[in-house]
Amino acid sequence: MEVSYNTQAGVDAKHNLFVHAEATNTNDGKALHRAATYAKKNMSLKKEDTIDVLSDKGYHTGAELQQCHDDNIQTYVAFKEQPSVKHLQKEFLSTQFIYNKQEDSYTCPAGQTLTSLGTWHHKKGDAGETSYRFKTYRTDGCKKCSLKLYCTKLNKRIIHRSEYQDAVERNNANIRNNPDYYKRRQSICEHPFGTIKRQWGYTYTLMKGLQKVNGEMNLIMLVYNIKRTVSILGFEKMLQAIQTWKPDYSRIIYSFLQQQVRLIWSQTVTLFFSENKITSQLRAV
């Protein structure tokens, strides 16, 4: 039986060193903000400091993009182009509808205005997706529109707008306006993984269990950082830097205590439910 975990990692653009690494049992769609925040902390940056994050399309989730924006993390996350639909002309895809923020309305390619009743609906997230709210927009102008055949098969064309749409559009504009900048992602974060997996042969872990796998992955990436630092500084300068390094042990201890508290809490909850299950069985007897 094989058990797989997902490794989240952050690599800095200047030196190509790992600044964050964590083995998780969640997928990329819910990992962007957490990974970016930890990377920011590990580089001794404050919340008000701004950083850019370049990620592939697996991390493109509206809620995560919004959280990053709120914490001064500028996102450049690849997005999927809206797929074509058989009965829709390209000119009538929802991306061609212009949103008016002041009026909270959309204008369709035919010039009709789509409005909303202001009611929020809830979209339950599938596996790997986050639940979110959205509003619907429509117009009565569809009934007499000569272009309706190319736009919708329904009585009215309906547009959905997520509560995170502003963050999504802001991110997508970053990608469209800076295509060469985004391409740097491959040379920044893909190269270290290529070295670890292809050159060193670490295509699987020897340990089992999330905590142990997390430790093993961090040791591997620590070795990568050491070898990379030797390439940047040279061995003598690296040793000199280590000798004069004064780590902030309070941060290390605090992080360790946080992990221990989470572990104790999870064990307490498990024990609580186990005891309640035993009590219920005794009562049933």
CB 38 within 8 A of CB 59: no
What is the per-residue pLDDT for 278?
52
Do the strands 121-123 and 6-11 form a parallel or antiparallel pair, or are they unpaired? Answer: unpaired
Residue 45 tokens, joined: 């940056």
**In this structure, how many other beta carbons lie within 10 angstroms of the beta carbon of residue 172?**
19
Contact 165, 62 (CB under 8 A): yes
User: What is the tens place of the pLDDT at every residue in 119-155?
Assistant: 999 988 665 567 899 999 999 999 889 888 888 888 8
Which of 19, 53, 12, 56 has its CA nearest to residue 218?
19
Q: Angle, to 10 degrees, between the axis of helix 62-70 and the axis of helix 32-42? A: 30
C-alpha to C-alpha distances, 44 to 37, 39, 48, 247, 251, nearest whole angstrom: 11, 9, 12, 12, 11
Q: pTM surpassing 0.95? A: no
In tens, the pLDDT along 13-22 reads 999 999 999 9
Say how far apart CA 139 and CA 6 lie, in whole Å: 44
How far apart, in whole angstroms, are the C-alpha atoms of residue 226 and residue 268? 39
Q: How confident is the model at residue 285 (pLDDT cuts 50, 70, 90)?
A: very low
pLDDT in tens, 150-185: 888 888 999 999 999 999 999 999 999 999 999 999
